[in-house]
Amino acid sequence: MIRNTTSLRNVSSRRYITQLTKTSMSSYALLRNRPYSAIASNNNISSSLKTNRPEPSPSFDLGSTDQDPITLKNKWGNSTQKMDSSLIGLTGGQIFHEMMVRNNVDTVFGYPGGAILPVYDAIHDSKQFKFVLPKHEQGAGHMAEGYARASGKCGVVLVTSGPGATNVVTPMADALSDGIPMVVFTGQVPTSAIGTDAFQEADVIGISRQCTKWNVMVKNVEELPRRINEAFQIATSGRPGPVLVDLPKDVTAAVLKNPIPISSVLPSTTLKNLIGSIHDEFIKENIAKAANLINIAKRPVLYAGGGILNHSDGSTVLKEISERAKIPVTTSIQGLGSFDQDDPKSLDMLGMHGSAVANMAVQNADLIIALGSRFDDRVTGNITKFAPRARKAALENKGGIIHFEISPKNINKVVQCDVSVEGDATTNLKRVLETVVPVKERAEWFNQIEEWKQKFDYNYLKETPDSKIKPQTVISKLSKIAHTTGKEVIVTTGVGQHQMWAAQYWTWKKPRTFITSGGLGTMGFGLPSAIGAQVAKPDALVIDIDGDASFNMTLNELSSAVQANAPVKILILNNEEQGMVTQWQSLFYENRYSHTHQLNPNFMKLAEAMHVKGIKVTKQDELDQALKKFVATEGPVILEVEVEKKVPVLPMVPAGKGLDEFISFDPEVEKEQNRVRHERTGALH
């Protein structure tokens, strides 16, 4: 007799499912009719039902309150936890205000709207922090970036739903690229309306996922405090960056009625806790390897990125190791100011429009020590041609590339390093410094560097008596005048040629004094970031060096500077074109200037309309006096300087070339290029 095994299996499966369903229904009935605490303590209930629920994430009770935390058994779980009752009776908006105070927020940048009104109502006339109102939400984001870069604190943005939230996407992407701590709070339609295409509804969580370190929608008022704390912790820990917290209107309008738990841990710390000792041992070994390579290197170079500025001692430690081991220092654009450029060991900026000396040094170094940098393509040039001598030295165990970096994903992402030291660059550099052997001199290496400095100094075609002013002249003169004021000087820029000339011709001496959009390259960044920096440093001389095309993108924020009592100084280098784009069109597209010349407003009338003082310079002999007047003006002021058109930023490493294959200044070549341009454009340009 042949048995029907398939039929038997089916019968067996049905019996098992029936039995499981009966058990589940019995358990469900118990859960429906009995308190959770009673169920969990009942010995007859299965062990799976007695298992404690996971504890909620981190709490927020960071400071003293009028009422001490109390111990309760409640809906948060069976286990006894410390609970905070100090916020009971407050609305979500009022809780937001309290959490800003607990997180030591002193400035909020934002623009109100319907979905976020419960929060704005709660912060009405608050004496706990300053509120800065922009003319556009993008301006609020860039102001928060400028504030964060100047102060070292976390920038805070508060905007409404829909377009209010989407307008902050560019600043968030910019902050993520450059590692700037920022928390953005966005209004949202009520939870009951989400997904219905309600008025001013946007899926800001989905939209912002790729331009934030973390984002979250708060689903109920009870989780609001811990979500706010998590946001600040994530934004400021590790590699800093933007975090978004979406606040539905019914959540911010709701009243907290129950105590909330205090203690918990962010998931991001779990892995480190599990492998902490192993990880620390690995870092210790790599620090020893790094120190050994530094001690045996003959032609080392320190390359400092913006990450070196995330520690208050970063600039000091960088100087110490440079002095101790006699190592020259170059920086990325975001690292400018971390090392005094008046120091003879300074090589200035590295990269596409960096110093030719820095480029030559990196290509000929046997050891590159990268500190808090991510090897952006504008720094490395063609990867296959990057640092050939260091790579050769690595094969001989006499050098290579050492990468100090806090973000693991940036290690070996672009450039393959020989030793990686994960963690805060400054903290780990201090540990390396302990075992670095002092060096008296590196005569051969520094003689070579001095030879390059004499051969490849920054230079340009100077003015003739009847020519317009050169933009490089304006910046170099302003740098000297600004440094004689006795004030702390902070410079912001837009993006374009003026940005590169500012990096090249300004003398950078102190950290956090150069604020620019490096990774994303956001035109219009200069003015709003200057306002944010001025709010952070009210006694500083804050100068926005801008191009006319870049300035046009956010010029509406001029009146915001007046309203915020921010006496920013705006220098507009007006060449009536998108200069960096026209430079590429001149070099690689046979002078075909496709849509790169714009009609500008009358900047002096604009200044008057915005209640800002205006100064205009068209002649060379007016410049010195105008610059002195510019920095001495009490309130916000615009200085418009009509500069020469079609002036190239040099040196320049063309796309696909190595760092040492740069185009350098040659007066005869530039004159010939001018002649060809006139001929090709029929003397129009």
Tell me which residues are annotated as active site. 137, 199-200, 249, 580
Q: Using CA atoms in the order 545, 547, 552, 556, what is the torsion angle rounded to 10 degrees?
A: 10
4-14 CB burial, b ≥16 within 10 A, e <16: eeeeeeeeeee
Residues 6+ apart with CB under 8 A from 329: 301, 302, 303, 304, 318, 322, 339, 343, 345, 346, 347
Got the DSSP string for 272-300? HHHHHHHHHHHHHHHHHHHHHHHHH-SSE
What gap in Å lies between CA 410 and CA 238, rounded to an integer? 12
- CB-count exposure of residue 654 (10 Å: 0-12, 13-18, 19+): middle
Start-to-end C-alpha separation, the chain: 100
**Edge-to-edge order in the sheet of strand 107-111:** 130-132, 107-111, 155-159, 182-188, 242-248, 214-217
Looking at residue 412, the DSSP 8-state letter turns out to be T
Of 401, 340, 324, residue with least CA distance to 370: 401
Closest CA to 629 of 643, 639, 641: 639
Reduce the DSSP state of residue 245 to 3 states and report it.
strand
Q: Is the distance from CB of 666 to CB of 598 less than 8 angstroms?
A: no
- Alpha-helical runs (H) found in 336-384: 356-364, 377-380
> What gap in Å lies between CA 417 and CA 202, rounded to an integer?
42
